[in-house]
Amino acid sequence: MIWREHRVLLIVLAVLLVANAIFFFTYRVQYEARLKALYARLQQSEDGLQRARNKRLQAEQAVASYRKVQTDLQMLYNSSWATEPERLTRLYAEIKRLAAASGIVMPKTFSFARTEDKEMQKTGGIGTVTVTISFTAQGTYQQLRRLINRLELSNQFVILDAINLGSGSSPDNLTLNVRLKTLFREPARSTMMVSKEM
Cβ atoms within 10 Å of 143's Cβ, excluding its own: 18
- Give the range with max mean pLDDT: 15-19, 53-57, 131-135: 53-57
Do residues 146 and 103 lie in contact, with contact meaning Cβ atoms separated by under 8 Å? Answer: yes
The reply to whether the predicted model has a pTM over 0.85 is no
Sheet containing strand 128-139, edge to edge, reads 110-116, 128-139, 174-185, 159-167
- Write out pLDDT tens, residues 40-83: 999 999 999 999 999 999 999 999 999 999 998 887 777 666 66
To the nearest 10°, report the CA torsion of 143, 145, 148, 152: -120
d(C-alpha 182, C-alpha 87), whole Å: 10
In this prediction, residue 194 carries a pLDDT of 41
Q: Which percentage of the chain shows pLDDT scores above 70?
A: 82
154 φ, ψ (degrees, to nearest 5):
-65, 150
Q: How many residues does the chain have?
A: 198
Query: Which helix (H) or strand (E) element contains residue 185?
Result: strand 174-185
Handedness of CA 190, 195, 196, 198 (dihedral sign): positive
pLDDT one-digit tens code per residue, 138-170: 888 899 899 999 988 888 888 888 888 888 777
CA 175/CA 37 separation, integer angstroms: 87
Task: Return the pLDDT at 172.
Answer: 81
Helix (H, G, I), strand (E, B) or coil at 107: coil
Q: How far apart are CA 163 and CA 178, in angstroms?
A: 5
Q: 110 pLDDT band (50/70/90 cuts)?
A: confident
The confidence score (pLDDT) of residue 80 equals 65
pLDDT reading at 192 higher than 70: no
